Structure 1
């Protein structure tokens, strides 16, 4: 989750909340005063206060973490253990104050765009996109920038529910007549709004025009 708060590494917990530009509050085995991990975790709980805390263990098994989590939640069910990805998504909401900040997150999974083309080629391509967000995706457009920086806009009519992968097929003709290597980029849009506005990095690659 480090990238979501633009920091590098961790810092000790103290009383620091999760703040943009700061490090994630954390503690390790070396910070334990009496080696009681459950007690130490419970000591960081504050009623009616949202806190994001990282516990870092070294060379531990999954069952060890599960045992700690179970013991903590038996005593204080308001403490929830989550995976790093969920931690990051919850941190996004908390830091932005926008409950919709995770609605439109995607991963560009795959495509079969050629890397070598010639002017006039008819390209048939499939794009696969996974919905990482909490919104059902529909009514979108996919904007592709190809050889000679020519832009193609396709209607993305495939509905994608949370966690699912959607695939759409398109066809276009190469209209570039200047041989060379070009950057390829594509990104989803909702109306005139690029999904980059929601934190999604465009997919980039390259193509060689013969």
Structure 2
């Protein structure tokens, strides 16, 4: 959201945007975290992160040495696992999409299943590259659904153009559905421009279908 700003966070000076498959905006992060695989905790470096998932490189392959061993510990493919990125402070559940061995290290692609934005992703409140593609969705407030077109999408929120006036003000919580991005959840209104039928919302929690 272009009108949301916070203090600069020095730990992600490596942040940069790049075009990826399906036009998803991904960002290179100098961050670490861990995933829980069976009874093991595997620490990783974040290689890429997007609004739908992240790509990680496992630091220590001594505990899990191969794709087969990883899936055995998980109990099969397409299983949800718990993850925690330390900075920005983000935790949740994700599905393993793919596992590869590159230069002796496991590279794991994860698709988010559930995220909590209340404590995490605050670092992305700086100016970021945006996803220019417009998406359609709807917003629920005051016991009514309102259709919108989102045209400014980032990892922490989006700016939307409402089809009709929507009686909300800054600070209110709303329910959000964006079928084209396969996500729904709750959000907080950060700013409104009633004359232009526009709103800026910040994610609180999201679920990816």
Q: What's the TM-score, normalizing by structure 2?
A: 0.30
**Max Rg structure:** 1
Q: What's the TM-score, normalizing by structure 1?
A: 0.30
> Which structure has the highest helix share of the two?
1
